Structure 1
Amino acid sequence: MFDFEEAILGLSERLQDVALNNNTAKEDDLQPNQEPQLPSAQPQMIQQLQQDDGSTTSSQYNSDTDEPAPRQKPLKQQKIVALDQDYIASYSTEASTLVDPLTVTSSSTETRIRKVGKDDFKSLCVLGRGAFGKVHLVRHEQSQQLYAMKILKKASLIVQGKQANQVKTERQILEEVRHPFIVKLYYAFQTPDDLHMVLEYAVGGELFRHLTHEGMFSEPMARFYAAELVLALDHLHSLGIVYRDLKPENCLLDAQGHIILTDFGLSKVSMDGKTNTICGTIEYMAPEILMGLDYDHVVDWWSLGILLYDMLTGSPPFSGQRKKTMDAILSKKIYLPYYLTSDAKDLLSKLLRKNPNARLGAKPKRSDAVRKHRFFSKIHWKDLENRKVTPPICPVVTNPEAAENFDPQFTNQTIGSSSNAIYQETQAHFRDFSFVDASLVV
């Protein structure tokens, strides 16, 4: 069973993200109805990913620690999120405060944002651990509100330079994005040793755990969660963000059972609409990513197709050892079980086209083509976005502080002691990391 750290923390000792900087081949021109010819221009890149160390059914990769972990269960105008490119490299030393002295003006009256730090939160239990940090369930002492606090070790991030950049990107994306089906960032601050992101606590746990318990979802259940993800992905794409890591472990459920998409550590803000980094979880990666080609938001629609297949059948369509999984993604046709309805088969076949230009969700119709597919004909999109549709799963929560829907191997762990040092931003790599959501202004 996958750990919660892969969903909120997004950093695992068993599953590591791919962030390879290999030179990539350019995508051949593809006709709308033509399957792509598999290029041979990337033998070293593919060969590196294909190193076989045993049978796996769900593997996420990192260029430094390439450890797999098994799955246990079978034309709209864009607003581009602008990122500060000097965010990591610049130097700043703050006084003994945890938040930049921000002010907001409302009705000609200045309201100062209250400083917040580690001492404002009480850790209740561990929700997950990973290679670069951990996640705690915490309670804000003043408001008594529960949050998930993501804590990352600065030293580890600086050594793994690209990880520092990924955290910077994640932090800024979360500040910009506001959507009912995307995790909310409420606070961000730092201590001499750690970075802290205080996130929405999705008390319902991972969709993966519920899927494992059910074995597979009925078509109405899968349709509901797929539709909420369509709205979340559409919002991200409208901001120029390519998500790149859609899978059940990154889909949480709130107290009512609605989707909360989390873990933006692999997301990319693409100013020109294209990127070429090889990253993600192999079973959910689009062919163009594996081939090292330039790609855009259309890779997320491929991942949605894989996730929908997973929900409807109980496992991804391509799994096994690394090399076999990659070869299957690049060359094999998808097998559609007989018990799937014709609408489900048609949607899956169109989302899982290897030619990205012919894939459902590609330009020019983009997400409109996905929404209008007859598989979603029973979805009332406005009601869904306004959370007026009752979710098919209502998580059982008797005590939110007990984290009942998360893995006991973490929640039963003893919380380690922490330093009482005076917190200062003394490291040049993480300037302006601090953040307080506007809704929390006092």
Structure 2
Amino acid sequence: MENRGLQWIRGPCIGKGSYGTVTLATSRSNGQIFAVKSVNSKFAGSCAVGSLENEIQTLKSLTCPYIVRYLGDDWTHGTQRNLHMEYVAGGTLADLAAESELDEHVIRHYTRCILQALLYIHSKGIIHCDIKGKNVLVDPTGTVKLADFGAARRVSGEAVGGSRGTPLWMAPEVVRLEAQSPESDVWSLGCTVIEMITGKPPWTVEDHPAAATMLLIGSGDRLPEFPDRLSELGKDFLHKCLRRRAGERLTASQLLNHPFISDVRIKNPSPRSVLDMINFSLQESRDADGSDYGDEEVSFDSVSNFSSSENNRVNSARERIRRLATDREIDWDRDGWEVVRLSTVIVESGKEEATRDGEEGERIGLEYFNASFGGEGSREGNVSFSVLMVKDFGLE
């Protein structure tokens, strides 16, 4: 039965899998942009629809900043099953690693985000079963989010049998069809760290037939090759993830305390405001075959469904933001901050006095104090202020 609770317009295709598509969409009611994963039950078969249903039910139960957010689900045209998710605009971690060499500080930060997601789902008795770069999405602010829960399974203290996931990221016990457990996700995480460094799968398959590679993973005594450029601390972290015996691997909680993760310092933090985001643009693309599975297809390259006056307002607002925004990346960590410390303001019978630490008697912006705290009407006493950091951008 088709659910018309959420009216939306399907936009361009941004991804395709073996049995479905992911497209951009926009809500008719509020203009919100989100992503829609769709499977056509008429062509994909029951297994594909079952996988999407599993993902829908799993995501419904999860609320974590490191996991892609569930927004809703519905049917369209009677055969099209849709999962509505938040749109994460930065693409996949696999694509990012393949396109450029990631700095180890960035890799450590991304690994920490994935571990936070694993800690959360494992505490709820859920194992992801398919951790890899393709299933981790990169937010433009620098956070990564775990996605694609189609293979996820629920466990109740015991490991479950069977095999789900992508072979080259599978733990040995999963390849052997023995068990799948939270420890299996930890092995896959180690493989994903290697993928982040090399931009390639953790195992080299060119030298071996596929069957021989699977035999090597499942029954051999080797580990994936550790990248040379990885630090000794990073290699120790991998050793804690990639133990062939599942019981010897550290848990997500324990790995979060490993120095490779616990000492991480984000080099490029989230933008402080929209004014930092001038270089960010929504990546727009079209489905190559122009196929449409939703209610209505619309091009995000234009806003032709708006009136001319609405178009003018959108363009005007966009231009005003562009003029205000900086056209260069801000390094929030470099030197050049001026520390202004308004430590104590004393208000006594209309007498106002403010001092900067180490500069006795200097007055600092008392009119702003008055505006915030009622000026002469303020009660007597001391008011402590936090450190105010003022950035000197060299703009005279």
Q: TM-score, normalised by structure 1?
A: 0.59
Identity %: 26
CA positional deviation for 1:336: 2.9
CA positional deviation for 1:305: 0.4
Q: Is 1:371 aligned to residue 247 of structure 2?
A: no
Please show how residues 361-440 of structure 1 align to structure 2 within 5 Å.
361=251, 367-379=252-264, 390=269, 398-400=280-282, 403-404=283-284, 411=287, 413-416=289-292
Aligned to 1:235, the other structure's residue is in SS state helix
Partners of 1:391 and 1:325 lie apart in 2 by: 40
Find the partner of 1:349 among 217, 220, 239: 239
8 Å CA contact 2:71, 2:85 repeated in 1: yes
Aligned to 2:150, the other structure's residue is in SS state coil
Please show how residues 237-316 of structure 1 align to structure 2 within 5 Å.
237-316=122-201
The answer to which structure has the higher strand fraction is 2
Partners of 2:84 and 2:144 lie apart in 1 by: 19
CA positional deviation for 1:412: 5.1
CA RMSD of aligned residues (A): 2.7
Q: TM-score, normalised by structure 2?
A: 0.66
8 Å CA contact 1:175, 1:185 repeated in 2: yes
Partners of 1:259 and 1:395 lie apart in 2 by: 18
CA positional deviation for 1:250: 0.8
CA positional deviation for 1:227: 0.4
Q: For structure 1, which runs of at least 5 residues remain unmatched after alignment? A: 1-93, 100-114, 362-366, 421-442
Aligned residues: 286
CA positional deviation for 1:389: 7.7
Match in the other structure for 2:340: none
Describe the shift of the 1:149–1:377 C-alpha distance in structure 2 as closer, same or farther (beyond 3 A): closer
AA aligned opposite 1:146: I
- After superposition, the C-alpha distances for 1:97-129 in whole angstroms (9 at most, x for unaligned) are 626xxxxxxxxxxxxxxx22xxx2122211123
Describe the shift of the 1:317–1:415 C-alpha distance in structure 2 as closer, same or farther (beyond 3 A): closer
Match in the other structure for 2:118: 233
Q: Is 1:210 aligned to residue 210 of structure 2?
A: no
Match in the other structure for 1:153: 40
Match in the other structure for 2:316: none
CA positional deviation for 1:396: 8.4
8 Å CA contact 2:88, 2:138 repeated in 1: yes
Q: For structure 2, which runs of at least 5 residues remain unmatched after alignment? A: 297-396
8 Å CA contact 1:151, 1:195 repeated in 2: yes
The structure with the largest alpha-carbon Rg is 2
Q: Is 1:142 aligned to residue 9 of structure 2?
A: no
Worse overlay, 367-376 or 261-270: 367-376
Aligned to 2:24, the other structure's residue is in SS state strand
8 Å CA contact 1:208, 1:248 repeated in 2: yes
- After superposition, the C-alpha distances for 1:200-226 in whole angstroms (9 at most, x for unaligned) are 111111112211111x32211110000
8 Å CA contact 1:274, 1:294 repeated in 2: yes
Match in the other structure for 2:16: 129
AA aligned opposite 1:122: I
Partners of 2:160 and 2:184 lie apart in 1 by: 11
AA aligned opposite 1:327: L
8 Å CA contact 2:10, 2:295 repeated in 1: no
CA positional deviation for 1:329: 1.8
Match in the other structure for 1:183: 68
CA positional deviation for 1:390: 1.4
